[in-house]
Amino acid sequence: KDIIEEKNHHITDSIKYAERLQAAILPKAEMFTKYFSKHSILYKPKDIVSGDFYWMEEMNGLVFLAAADCTGHGVPGAMVSMVGFQGLNKAVLEEKLTSPAAILQRLSDHVEEAFEKSGGSVKDGMDICLVAIDTEKRIVTYSGAHNALWILTSKEELPNANLREKEGGHSMFELKADRRSIGGFMDAGSFSETTVELNKGDRLFLFSDGFADQFGGPLGKKLGSKRMRETAREMAVSGNLIALGAIFEDWQGEEEQVDDVTVISVAL
């Protein structure tokens, strides 16, 4: 018993230190404040360290923002997330890529190269939503691997986007992702990208599937994408997006958290 308790103590301390290392590379709030009029971040790892991560850089007048969901959670997911961070930095800061679709393709190649060196059967990768934003002109270019982008806008129409809900002068549109992941060791075709021009005050939502997949509520069911989207829209319109975390915990109740949770919202 004493040996098990001692080992558990050392393992937990190591993971908590890894949590600090992971937190250190995430974009700081000051960076969001510099480029966006408003922002909200909900980031809830399931097991201390997270397989989710968010990333942000600025280059040549464009702000790049991503939310990613790596294979697994806990320590394995966190290790994959470090590979994702490195790949995004390499694509944008070293190779100077500006096209989100090209960045995702380079990231996918980077993940495959990183894991194929093992010579084993590692098939890990990630789903991701990536945007390149011209904050002056409010032009957003999006590309996604399984992870969609939601846009809350005062515009009546948005080309190449699917209207999901409309209420009180605000419409929630969805830009659909390509049905392929980053990595995966298979030729799944190239990534596509979509460009939209938005109004001042419009909001972008980047997220992993952890929020929508959480079980809870009065019937112990999944929260679901539709309920999540409606909640995010209502909270954004009311200016109270910080309440998303409380709403998630209320829905979860006594249920175990099923996955890492990330929801990033920025106002242009």
Sheet containing 170-175: order of strands: 38-44, 261-267, 203-207, 149-153, 170-175, 162-167
Tens of pLDDT, residue by residue over 138-159, are 999 999 999 999 999 999 999 8
Q: Which residues 6+ apart lie within 8 Å of 38 measured at CB?
A: 203, 265, 266, 267
Which pLDDT score, from 0 to 100, does residue 40 have?
95
**Residue 201 phi/psi, 5° resolution?**
95, -10
Which pLDDT score, from 0 to 100, does residue 262 have?
97
Tens of pLDDT, residue by residue over 35-70, are 999 999 999 999 999 999 999 999 989 999 999 999
Which pLDDT score, from 0 to 100, does residue 258 have?
95
For each successive 10 residues of the chain (268 residues), what is the average pLDDT?
93 92 94 95 94 95 96 86 95 97 95 74 82 97 97 93 89 95 73 96 97 96 95 90 92 96 96
Which pLDDT score, from 0 to 100, does residue 186 have?
58
